[in-house]
Structure 1
Amino acid sequence: MTKTVILYALALALAATALEWLQYSYAIRVFSTDIYIALLALGFISLGLWAGTKLTPRPAGSTFQRNEAAIRSLGLTARECEILALLASGQSNKEMARALGISPNTVKTHVARVYEKLEVQRRIQAIEKARWLALIE
C-alpha cells in the first residue's frame, strides 16, 4: 500500500512540475520582452546601488575637531569664532547682537574682521572657508 501511495505522490509531483513548466514557458513566450526589460532594469538598479556605495565617501565620525592651528594662524579671537558660528547658523547682525549682548555696530565690526582674516567678501564665502578649514561644523 505504501508503494502505491509513493507512486501516486511521485506521479502527482511530476504532473504538477510539468504543468508549472508549461505555464512558465507560456509566460516566457507571451511576456518575453517585458521580462527581459525588467531583468535589465534590475541589473542596472543593482549596479547603480553597488557603484553608489563604493564610490560615495563615508562620512567622517560625528566628533568634530576644531582646527586650533588654523585659528591661531589666522589670528581669530574667541569672539570672532563665536561670530563665525552664529554666521553659519544664519542669524542676522541684530540677532547676533541680541544673542551676544553687544550692539549691532560691534557685530558689524567683528564680521568685517572675520571677512578680513578669512580673505572673503560675503557671508557664504566666510562660512564655506570656515567649514573647509574646520573652524566650524
Structure 2
Amino acid sequence: MSGDISIEIIIAIIAITFFFIGAYLKAKTTKKEVDNPNQVDYKKIEELGISKREYEVLVQISKGLSNQEIAEILFVSESTVKTHVSNLLIKLNAKRRTQALQIAKELQILAY
C-alpha cells in the first residue's frame, strides 16, 4: 500500500510541475503580446493623404470583403467603393488589393 501512495505523490508532483511550467510560459507569451502591440501609425496615414473613408475601405478589404460587400457595409454604391480602392492603390503605389494590404501592413497603417 505504501508503494501505491508514493507513486501517486510522484505523479502529483510531476503534474503540478507541468502546471506551473505551462502557467509561466503562458504569462511570458502574453507579456510579449502586450509589450509589442500592433499600433497603427496615424501620422503615416495622414502623410499618404488617405481619407477616413478610404481607410474604412482598406480595413474592409483586409477582412477579405468584395466591393459589393464593402458598399453594403458602408452604405455607399459599389462604384464609390471602386473609386476609393483605385485611390488607395495609387496612394500606396500598389497594383492589386493584396499588394496594397501588404504595403499597408509594412507601413503599419493597418492592424493585423
Instruction: Summarize the alignment of residues 7-46 of structure 1 with structure 2, pairs less than 5 Å apart.
Output: 26=1, 28-46=2-20
**CA distance, structure 2, for counterparts of residue 131 and residue 59 of structure 1:** 20
Give the partner amino acid of 1:80: E
Identity %: 28
Structure 2 unaligned residues grouped into runs of 5+: none
Please, what is the CA RMSD of the aligned residues?
Answer: 3.5
Q: Per the alignment, do residues 30 and 79 of structure 1 end up closer, same or farther by CA in structure 2, a change over 3 Å counting? A: closer
Instruction: Summarize the alignment of residues 54-133 of structure 1 with structure 2, pairs less than 5 Å apart.
Output: 54-57=28-31, 59=34, 67-98=41-72, 99-102=74-77, 104-116=78-90, 117=92, 119=94, 121-123=96-98, 126=101, 129-130=104-105, 133=108
Q: Which has the larger radius of gyration?
A: 1
Say how many residue pairs are matched: 106
CA deviation vs aligned residue, 1:103-133 (integer Å, no higher than 9, x gap) = x234233224324416474449617945972
In the alignment, which residue of structure 2 is the partner of 1:15? none
Structure 1 unaligned residues grouped into runs of 5+: 1-25
CA deviation vs aligned residue, 1:62-85 (integer Å, no higher than 9, x gap) = xxx853311122221233112113
Higher RCO (C-alpha 8 Å, min separation 6): 2
Q: Tell me how far 1:93 sits from its aligned partner.
A: 0.8
TM-score normalised by structure 1 residue count: 0.54
Q: Per the alignment, do residues 77 and 100 of structure 1 end up closer, same or farther by CA in structure 2, a change over 3 Å counting? A: same
**CA distance, structure 1, for counterparts of residue 99 and residue 24 of structure 2:** 35
**CA distance, structure 2, for counterparts of residue 39 and residue 46 of structure 1:** 11
TM-score normalised by structure 2 residue count: 0.62
**CA distance, structure 1, for counterparts of residue 3 and residue 88 of structure 2:** 71
Q: Secondary structure of the equivalent of 1:72?
A: helix
